[in-house]
Structure 1
């Protein structure tokens, strides 16, 4: 066989591979491949509803997740509002105590910075909830005065919840808060931020007393927003 014939056959084989390989890869990916996305865990009790759901062409068992119930609170500089705000927002929440100048002050310092970083996105809401039922508007205003000039409109500093905040913290937010056993006029709270998705499910806990936890929260807020966009179908406007 001449060299010219061999070269011609080689060219035909290479051309065939170039033409056939993309089609083969497309079929293989569609048949055997799967899209995998990084997703945050969902915390709290879970149970199956017994039904099946369908998403992106795939069926999966419907799971009922732990959800934080709606809570009516007083915004210190406006009126009543609901926490969480709506079914289109993700929320970051923590508790604070106006007579606590350590963790409570540190948590407000950190949440102010986070609220400023996300101040252009109305779908990310921040809540600081006072645990002291005796707080007046003056008490709250005095405590938050250092943040007033740079306070984001999506950061809500609230008090006087519509139900017992200690029971709500333990049973709904799954964090610690209690009356001080040594002094019933004082309160003890944890140092955690809680991240909730738009369905009011808990997606993360972040201890402000530990290094890099606030950075992790910032990263996971962004990750959760990507998940929210991916899972919310686009609406086509009808003209």
Structure 2
């Protein structure tokens, strides 16, 4: 067999591989592989509904997750606001009170930085919730005076909840909060940020005293944004 004939056969084989390989890989991925995305865990009690759901052509058992209930507050302007009132947004929540200059101040400092970094993204909301029943608009305004343009960065500093905030913290947010047994003017509150998705499910806890946790919160907010956008139903415009 001449070298020219061998060369032509080699070219034919290479061309066939170039043409057939993409199709083969497509079939292999669809039959053997699956579309997998990194997803944050869902915290709290879970139970099966007994029904099946379908996603990306695959069936799976429908799971009922722990979700937060709606709750109303007053904000820095004295206006009523509702936690989780925007179903396309994810929310970062934490507890504090204005007489506390340690964890409460550290939490607001960190939320201030996060709210500034995500100020252009309307999908991300921040709620700083005071647990002090004696809190007022004036005391909160004084405590937050150093933070600029709070309401313009999708950040709400709120007080006077419509329900018992200590019960809500334990049953809904699944974090600790109580009046200090040794001093009724002080409160024992969780030092964690709570990440909540658009369905009201808890997707993460982050210790404010650990920089690695605060950095992880920023990364996981971005990860959750991807999940929220990916799962949002397509809107078809009608003319």
TM-score > 0.5, shorter chain as reference: yes
Partner of 1:158: 158
Partner of 1:125: 125
Match of 1:23, SS state, is helix
Match of 1:157, SS state, is strand
Residues 1:175 and 1:3: Cα distance change in structure 2 (over 3 Å) = same
- How far apart are 1:8 and its partner, in Å? 3.0
Judge conservation of contact 2:44–2:65 (CA < 8 Å) in 1.
yes
Q: Distance in 2 between matches of 1:8 and 1:185?
A: 89
Task: Supply the RMSD in Å over aligned alpha carbons.
Answer: 1.3
Q: Distance in 2 between matches of 1:22 and 1:110?
A: 48
Q: Distance in 1 between matches of 2:71 and 2:223?
A: 26
Partner of 1:4: 4
Q: Distance in 2 between matches of 1:53 and 1:21?
A: 34
Judge conservation of contact 1:116–1:152 (CA < 8 Å) in 2.
no
Partner of 1:22: 22
Residues 1:4 and 1:135: Cα distance change in structure 2 (over 3 Å) = closer
Once the two structures are overlaid, the 10-residue window that deviates more, 82-91 or 9-18, is: 9-18
Partner of 1:33: 33
Once the two structures are overlaid, the 10-residue window that deviates more, 12-21 or 102-111, is: 12-21
Runs (5+) with no aligned partner, structure 2: none
1:60 aligns with 2:57: no
1:168 aligns with 2:168: yes
1:234 aligns with 2:237: no
Judge conservation of contact 1:73–1:81 (CA < 8 Å) in 2.
yes
Q: TM-score, normalised by structure 2?
A: 0.95
Once the two structures are overlaid, the 10-residue window that deviates more, 207-216 or 39-48, is: 207-216
Judge conservation of contact 1:116–1:151 (CA < 8 Å) in 2.
no
- How far apart are 1:152 and its partner, in Å? 4.3
- How far apart are 1:117 and its partner, in Å? 0.9
Partner of 2:204: 204
Q: TM-score, normalised by structure 1?
A: 0.95
Q: Distance in 1 between matches of 2:18 and 2:112?
A: 56
Judge conservation of contact 1:90–1:125 (CA < 8 Å) in 2.
yes
- How far apart are 1:203 and its partner, in Å? 0.4
Match of 1:145, SS state, is coil
Partner of 1:100: 100
Per-residue CA deviation, residues 97-144 of structure 1 (Å, 9 max, x unaligned), is: 111100000101110111111111122111001000011221111111
Match of 2:145, SS state, is helix
Q: Distance in 2 between matches of 1:155 and 1:4?
A: 73
Partner of 1:81: 81
Judge conservation of contact 1:180–1:188 (CA < 8 Å) in 2.
yes
1:44 aligns with 2:77: no
Count of matched residue positions in the alignment of Structure 1 and Structure 2: 238
Judge conservation of contact 1:115–1:126 (CA < 8 Å) in 2.
yes
- How far apart are 1:59 and its partner, in Å? 1.2
